[in-house]
Structure 1
Amino acid sequence: MSRHPAGVAIVTTTAPEGEPWGMTCSSVASVALRPPTLLVCLRAESPTLAALLRVSAFAVNLLHDRAEPVANLFASGSPDRFEKVEWAVAPESGLPHLTEDAHTVADCRVSATLPVGDHVVVFGEVLRVEARTDGPVSPLLYGMRQYWSLTAPGGDGER
């Protein structure tokens, strides 16, 4: 699957004590329209997954093509990652949104989980979507072990 480009997202949640958690994820898919449902696949031993399951809620922050450093930061496991990015708690959901690096954020309530190998598939019913409206959006993609972006016709898209 490393040869198949996919959109890059950061899954965020808040532990019951209020601490934000998050991790980079390229295993995100739309599952259903009614009710609107997404799935994310997270490493079974992930502290982000543990926090997400405790509060039964998460946000999917879809990254724009200038957010490669943030994707790397949240993939690194750095304990201070939220101190290095702009984020805010969404008043409606109480979930962390990456305010500068995401072009769209979907707040989800956990509707089901399915353990598969060393990962857990988390299904989330989408409660609300917040999309940036301040210009064109070019999503960050990852495939063939490198980051990509969509570009205007005629561009190669490679970063």
Structure 2
Amino acid sequence: MTSHRPFGLPVAAQRVAALPAAALLLAVAGCSPTDATASVPVPSPPAEEAAFCRALHDALPQTLSGFDRSEAEPESDLTAAWGDGAIVLRCGVPRPEKMSDPQASGVDVNGVGWLLEVRDSGAPRFTSTYRKAYVEVTLDERFTHDTGPLTGLAGPVARTVPKSL
């Protein structure tokens, strides 16, 4: 079950169905968008947090919101990607400054709290709250107003990254 705080995302949001022109051209040429490698900065958390992140990495789904898991470059147990970078996860990131803002937007998905930050492109970035390691999930513009990928990530996060006090 997904529930929203009053200041969270709209419940009835829908994805943009059209593929970007570049992805369409790749598909016509015989390549799929899931063949791409996402360039992902690797966090450098303390050892205890890194251990939680390694456990999370092993528990992550192979498919998320219709996208197959793809390689993140450089390869790391602290990062994961799905599709052509449509969904990117980084574990062990620093605590976002926005978490200190009492007016910050957030959402609870299956018992895992997430801070919402909307980037300049309008695409969301979510960071887990009240966990012993911060997990950041960056979504591209196809997921504007869509928390769907968090549903597939909430279980693995809840099982592998303990709650903090």
Give the shorter-chain TM-score range: under 0.3
**Which structure has the highest helix share of the two?**
2
Larger strand proportion, structure 1 or 2?
1
